[in-house]
């Protein structure tokens, strides 16, 4: 237990901060994923075959390629790509992107592919009559989306989004390969310097279980809130 003490003697405070980092990366990645989903869900549902194709390539490639490979692409390719763009504007110095940004972006793109599929499924399962009724009542496209489609989509999407959240949360452990100090990386450091990997990795497992458990409870509350009247 002294291994978990707060302060200089133990790893308690480091692990606590690492847990906060995991939560921060997961939430950032989830939000980045939502913005990707906001772009690609309309493309998926569009009437134009070409736009469908673009969205399908995105979701198929990301969901068919290992997360670790995507992270390596961003880790090794990220600063190169930024430097290439910067060099076009005449900036020649070396640019290093922060591990947090690369990590959240890589996980965010993965999470976005899953979110896109969830939102697409949710919108498609909304009753057709709802769209027709909105049209008959003279709702504008914008109003139709915000007042009718969006609220129903949320209710239908929340159970599946909770799965996406769980996947995202667990995927953040892979960012440890880029050196960002989240739960996994901190456990790795602690295990290395105390020569007690069994304890620290098991403790990391407990922390992840705790995070998934708490988030499940919170999401269940949301589900009840948005499911009112059904």
Partner 1 sequence: MDFELMINSFPKLLNAAVVTLKLLSVSLIVGLFIGLLFAILRLNKNIFINKFAYGYSYVFRGTPLLVQIFIIYFGLGQIESLRSSFLWVILKEPYWCAIIAFALNTGAYTSEILRSAFQTIKPGIIEAGKSLGISNKIIFYKVQIPIAIRQSLPAYGNEIILMLKGTSLASTVTLMDLTGVAKYIISTTFKPIEVFIVAGGIYLFMTFIIHNLIKFLEKKYSY
Q: What residues line the site for partner 1 (CB under 8 A)?
A: 60-61, 63-69, 72-73, 76-77, 80, 166, 170-171, 173-174, 176-177, 184, 187-188, 191, 195-199, 201-202, 204-205, 208-209, 212-213
Q: Minimum distance from CB of 12 to partner 1 (Å)?
A: 19
| Cβ-contact 111, 26 below 8 angstroms | no
| Cβ-contact 126, 156 below 8 angstroms | yes
Measured from the CB atom, the residue of 76 and 146 that comes closer to partner 1 is: 76
Q: Minimum distance from CB of 96 to partner 1 (Å)?
A: 14
Measured from the CB atom, the residue of 20 and 65 that comes closer to partner 1 is: 65
Measured from the CB atom, the residue of 35 and 202 that comes closer to partner 1 is: 202
| Residue written as token pair 């990590």 | 103
Measured from the CB atom, the residue of 40 and 208 that comes closer to partner 1 is: 208
Q: Minimum distance from CB of 65 to partner 1 (Å)?
A: 4
Measured from the CB atom, the residue of 66 and 151 that comes closer to partner 1 is: 66
Residue 60 tokens, joined: 């198929």
Q: Minimum distance from CB of 58 to partner 1 (Å)?
A: 13
Q: Minimum distance from CB of 49 to partner 1 (Å)?
A: 21
Alpha-carbon distance 35 to 29, whole Å?
10
């Amino acid at each position: 237990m002294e291994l978990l003490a707060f302060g200089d003697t133990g790893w308690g405070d480091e692990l606590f901060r690492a847990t906060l980092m995991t939560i921060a990366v997961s939430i950032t990645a989830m939000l980045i994923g939502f913005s990707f989903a906001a772009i690609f869900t309309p493309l998926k549902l569009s009437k134009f075959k070409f736009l469908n194709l673009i969205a399908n390539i995105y979701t198929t490639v990301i969901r068919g390629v290992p997360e670790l490979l995507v992270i390596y692409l961003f880790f090794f390719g990220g600063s190169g790509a930024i430097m290439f763009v910067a060099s076009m504007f005449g900036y020649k110095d070396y640019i290093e992107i922060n591990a947090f940004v690369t990590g959240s972006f890589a996980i965010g793109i993965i999470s976005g592919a899953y979110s896109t599929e969830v939102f697409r499924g949710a919108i498609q399962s909304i009753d057709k009559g709802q769209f027709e009724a909105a049209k008959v009542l003279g709702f504008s496209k914008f109003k139709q989306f915000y007042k009718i489609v969006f609220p129903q989509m949320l209710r239908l999407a929340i159970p599946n989004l909770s799965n996406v959240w769980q996947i995202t949360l667990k995927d953040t452990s892979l960012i440890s390969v880029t050196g960002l100090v989240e739960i996994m990386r901190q456990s790795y450091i602690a295990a290395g310097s105390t020569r007690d990997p069994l304890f620290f990795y098991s403790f990391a497992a407990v922390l992840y279980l705790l995070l998934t458990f708490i988030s499940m409870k919170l999401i269940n509350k949301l589900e009840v809130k948005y499911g009112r009247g059904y």
